[in-house]
Chain A
Amino acid sequence: MTATLTISWLTKRFGPVEALSQVSLQVQAGQRVALLGHNGAGKSTMMKIILGLIPATEGEVTVCGAAPGSAAARAQVAYLPENAAFHPALAGEEQIRLFLSLRGERPAQARDLLARVGLHDAAGRRIGTYSKGMRQRVGLAQALIGRPRLLVLDEPTSGLDPVSRRDFYALLDDLAAEGASVLLSSHALTEVEARTDRILILSRGRLVTQGTLPELRHEAALPVQFLVTPAPGQADTLAAALAATPGPDGILRLTAPQGDKLAALARIAGLGAAVADLDVIPPSLEDIYSHFSRRDGQ
């Protein structure tokens, strides 16, 4: 596999403040990578360094085999800034035509691009009249221009309704299938969980962990939760057997470490008819995320 983006020992300081410290990572061709972190964790700073908008203090960044910000890198990288903004006096179509020309593409594709993000009907209206979600979609449309090998998307789905979000991830799947790499930041953990290949977690400028969701789940070793619904009249027996007190809804909540999952399951199954129902809940990405963020002292 070829790496579209390679970052080695990247450090960025703003005066005495260390925004990023010794971050190393790779993004392979065709990979969709989610960058998670609190506000101020260094996500946007890292993206701006990848784009060559601000220089790194230390470390090395290679984008599509070139230096960040070089003509070769910029020609192959698409960017969607957080809260995408455009000149309010231009119509959506005019703005996209300008961006197409700046990338050396035919301006006539503007309507098609806007149609791909569901803005066909508003293409002739000035961006000043657009809602936040519509501006965000103009931003997505410009990120699709040409055939970028790397898409850097800073909170791409903020301001989008659920249906638009689904359409957006479908677009990303198409791009990734064609070999484009995607690096996106998001606070919407559930959608990231389902639609990306790898997850990076930044905390206070340090990359605290990276991997696929199962890998992170394994590394975090968070306990599994069991929800046991007692059969009618069996609540007390069950509570005594499992050493747990039922909640106000009558359901017993148990936790077990990852390694003891099957043993716990066997113990509950062994109670036979006293159990009416059983749900096994693995740790969610939210749990894993707070585990890694908190471990770093937050």
Chain B
Amino acid sequence: MRAILATAGAEFRIALRNRWVVIAVALMVVFSLVLAAAGAAPTGDVGVDRLSVIVASLTSLAIYLLPLLALLIGFDAVAGEVERGTLPLLLAYPVSRLEILIGKFAAHLVILVLAVVLGYGAAGVAAIATDPRAGAGLPALVRLGWSSVLLGATFLGAAYALSALSRRPSGAAGLAIGLWLLFVVLYDLGLLAMVVADGGGALTTHVLPVALLANPADAFRLFNLAASGAVGAASGMGAAAASIALWKSALSVAIWPVITLALAWAAFRRVTP
């Protein structure tokens, strides 16, 4: 435990000095505030409070931004140690590789929590300050907050796994961007093409729900839209969200961090210094 805390402390300090903390927090706050300002327009017509509308926008933001931040913060975790030549000494210490990984993960997760809390918090404050009914959207914002952290955790684990597999920071960075493109952009395009080609057949009714749950980013979107039905209608994914039980998307969101961290551990164990 002591080793984990000490590792986390040092990693957080390094992230602070490498400006990752400032960059992550600033990005989340700026984008959240922009969306809070832009999300003001449809309020009156839809008949929901302003914060619930903003939460729908923030969900789309989180899907793009949090995986990217997590991958950028995490890709150096193992490969960087290998390149700097610091890994042999670290592994000669009486500390397990799992403890090292958990220590780094704890520090990086704190950064993501900070970014999420300050970013969404700013949006929440802005909404409540301008719309007295916005308090009704708070549960949705809180739900978005913790599921965003889980989404970030998933991609931190993925970043460590890529980092351990590639063993070179440049290679790990390339793989990380590739992974982001695949899961966040290309995957949905592929599904869209499938749905269009299938025209409402068996693929759409049977394969699509599974495919959506299998992608942590899509599961995150489903979970947040299904949980707050009011904004689901506005997103175009409402139909899909409605056909998949809430517990399924919640389970996917919760289990993905465990899967990627287990993969990262398995990959790290195979690194010979």
Contacts and interface: CB of A to CB of B under 8 A. Distances in A.
Interface of A: 48, 51-54, 71, 74-75, 77, 79-81, 83-87, 89-90, 94-95, 97-99, 101-104, 107, 126, 139, 142
A101 B86 contact: no
Given A48-B88, A53-B273, A85-B84, A102 B93 contact: yes
Contacts of A52: 92
B7 interface: yes
A75 B5 CA distance: 19
A176 to B, nearest CB: 20
A89 B16 CA distance: 10
For the complex of A and B, list the 5 residue pairs with the smallest distance between their C-beta atoms, beginning with the closest: A101-B6, A85-B85, A79-B92, A74-B94, A89-B17
B272 A90 contact: no
Given A89-B17, A90-B10, A90-B14, A101 B2 contact: yes
Interface string B12-30: 0110011000000000000
Contacts of B3: 101-102, 104
Given A83-B85, A104-B3, A139-B89, 14 more contacts: A51-B88, A53-B92, A71-B94, A80-B89, A87-B84, A87-B86, A89-B14, A98-B6, A101-B2, A101-B3, A102-B93, A102-B94, A102-B95, A142-B89
Interface of B: 2-3, 5-7, 9-10, 13-14, 17-18, 84-86, 88-89, 91-95, 272-273
B13 A90 contact: yes
A90 B9 CA distance: 11
Contact of A102 (B6, B18, B86, B88): B6
B17 A74 contact: no
Contacts of B95: 102
Contacts of A83: 85
B13 A89 contact: yes
A104 B93 contact: no
24 contacts: A48-B88, A51-B88, A52-B92, A54-B272, A71-B94, A74-B93, A75-B94, A77-B92, A79-B92, A80-B89, A81-B88, A85-B89, A86-B86, A87-B86, A89-B14, A89-B18, A94-B10, A97-B6, A98-B6, A101-B2, A101-B5, A102-B3, A102-B7, A102-B93
B92 A74 contact: yes
A53 B272 contact: yes
Nearest to A53: B273
Nearest to B89: A81
B163 to A, nearest CB: 15
Nearest to A51: B92
Given A85-B85, A86-B86, A103 B93 contact: yes
A90 B84 CA distance: 13
Contact of B91 (A53, A98, A99): A53
Given A81-B85, A87-B14, A99 B93 contact: yes
Contacts of A51: 88, 92
B14 A104 contact: no
Contacts of A75: 94
Contacts of B86: 85-87
B85 A98 contact: no
Contacts of B5: 101
A94 to B, nearest CB: 7
